[in-house]
Structure 1
């Protein structure tokens, strides 16, 4: 699965669980509906983790490319 799709699913899960929690909280008590809030927070934390992980990988990749450009390999001519 692509990272963008994973992040989209996690963000949609966060919003969905939050909406269901609000509706359930109005119907029952916090004690009976806290598990929906926990699922929403969990999805949000996984979303943030995925986003930060991909940005760190991109930053590392750019640094590696930059190092490769700065160090040029040249052949020496034998006399």
Structure 2
């Protein structure tokens, strides 16, 4: 979930997803280039209050995202 979406930010989109009964447990990985705004430190420390399963700051190696997908996908069994 990119935090800088054009119509709705990633925080608000995550809240909507989490509020849906069938989607509340789907893993959501936050991705952002907002490190300079303090979001980076806050989400690295604890991504859960925002509703994210994990946080990955940009730029990142594709392998890091793939590792997180493998980490969370088996837990939910859903894509």
Q: Which structure dedicates a bigger proportion of its chain to helix?
A: 1
Which TM-score applies when normalising by structure 1?
A: 0.29
Q: Which structure dedicates a bigger proportion of its chain to strand?
A: 2
Between 1 and 2, higher relative CO (CA 8 Å, sep ≥ 6) is seen in 1
